[in-house]
Amino acid sequence: MLGPKTLIIVRHAKSSWKQGGLTDHDRPLNARGKRDAPRMAERLASRGVSPDLIVSSSAVRALTTARAFAAGFELEPDRLVVEGAVYGAGYDGMLELIGDTDDHLDCVMWVGHNPTFTYLANALVREGVGHLPTCAVVTMRLAAEHWSDLGEGRIELVALDVPKESDA
């Protein structure tokens, strides 16, 4: 039986601009990013969050973030997939990608980029979530059995987590 869906979107952790000559796609995480991603994964895992699948942009900073989350949830390696289309996808592209998700998966985490992820979260959640800083996590519940129903406005904000909260 298919149930309601939980969508988790994560803006990649803080990246480094120190290495000249790298393309945007190849920028790694900086020290803060390497610290924040495991902390955020730990925070979610402590609340019992464990996605069925993590889908990441192919950009180095997003994939490194996704791997930290996968490790924090102790997911099997095949539960993390790279979707190159996330890098550079706009709002409509993300709706299409998410809508194509296998309906047997009830909780899926997407790791990607701004401005798309801030726009996506604010468009889906009625009360809005504001600007998503790096490594922000938005957890939403879709009251539907099919991922393709995502854009129909039946979204409940479950949690908004940002790294600054974990520093306390």
Structural domains present in the chain: 5-166 (3.40.50.1240)
Task: Enter the tokens of residue 120.
Answer: 């996506």
- pLDDT at residue 166 greater than cutoff 70: no
Tokens at 106, concatenated:
């009830």
Average pLDDT of the segment spanning 129-136: 96
User: What is the pLDDT at residue 168?
Assistant: 42
How sure is the predictor about 6, in pLDDT bands with cuts at 50, 70 and 90? very high
pLDDT of 41 higher than 60: yes
Residue 118: count other Cβ atoms within 10 Å of its Cβ.
20
Measured distance CA(57)–CA(105) in Å, rounded: 19
pLDDT in tens, 54-73: 999 999 999 999 999 999 99
Please name which of 118, 120, 122 lies closest in space to residue 136, comparing C-alpha atoms: 118
In one-letter notation, the amino acid at residue 152 is E
pLDDT band for 19, please (50, 70, 90 cuts): confident
